[in-house]
Amino acid sequence: MINAVIVLSLVAASLAQQPADVIPIVRYENEGVNADGSYQWSLETGNGIVAQEQGQIKNGGSENEAVEVQGSFQYQAPDGTPISMNYIANEGGFQPQGDHLPTPPPIPPAIQRALEWIAAHPEPEDAQRPQREVHTKAAPQLFQKKLHQGFNRRF
């Protein structure tokens, strides 16, 4: 009985230590970083993952120097849905595009009409905006009259 427990324990331990399936890299290419700061790489694995990216320096040597990256990847989600995404990353931030990404709800028609009306009828600039007339002559006279009445009262 003890021998059976020991054998079963050893079998269970050896099964638990089996390595996960190794996924081969079918294709891998890597070029760069080059002297001008550009690079590119691509990868394809045995389970269908495909990815690629290229980058370059924009406005090199200036104070507006930035790296711009473009890339894409594809794979199959656990539920079988194919996932494909393209992206750009630059001074405008990371900008992904893909059918699987959530999108905002559509703008309601009444709001859309209001936005179109506002765009078609912009407010005039401050210099062109008509100035309202402010009447200030009556206020000081009224204040002086009330002030004078207050001092002339006898307590």
- Between 37 and 28, residue with greater pLDDT: 28
Please state which of the ranges 56-60, 75-79, 92-96 shows the lowest mean pLDDT: 56-60
Cβ–Cβ under 8 Å, residues 55 and 66:
no
Sequence letter at residue 82: P
Mean pLDDT (whole number) for 10-19:
63
Domain borders along the chain are: 19-124
CA gap 137, 80 in Å, rounded: 79
Measured CA to CA in angstroms, residue 27 lies from 11, 20, 21, 44 at distances of: 37, 21, 18, 5
Q: Which of the listed ranges 12-21, 31-40, 124-133, 136-145 does the model predict with the highest average pLDDT? A: 31-40
With b meaning 16 or more CB within 10 Å and e meaning fewer, what string describes 105-138? eeeeeeeeeeeeeeeeeeeeeeeeeeeeeeeeee
pLDDT at residue 155, as a whole number? 47
Query: Quick check: 44 pLDDT over 90?
Result: yes
Token readout for 79 is 């539920």
The stretch 133-146 carries a mean pLDDT of 59
- Alpha-carbon distance of 56 to 39, in angstroms, equals 7
pLDDT at 65 over 50: yes
Q: Which of 16-20, 48-52, 59-63, 75-79 has the lowest mean pLDDT?
A: 16-20
Between 115 and 136, the higher pLDDT residue: 115
For residue 123, what pLDDT is reported? 84
Using the CB atoms, write b or e for 51-60: b if 16+ within 10 Å: eebebbeeee
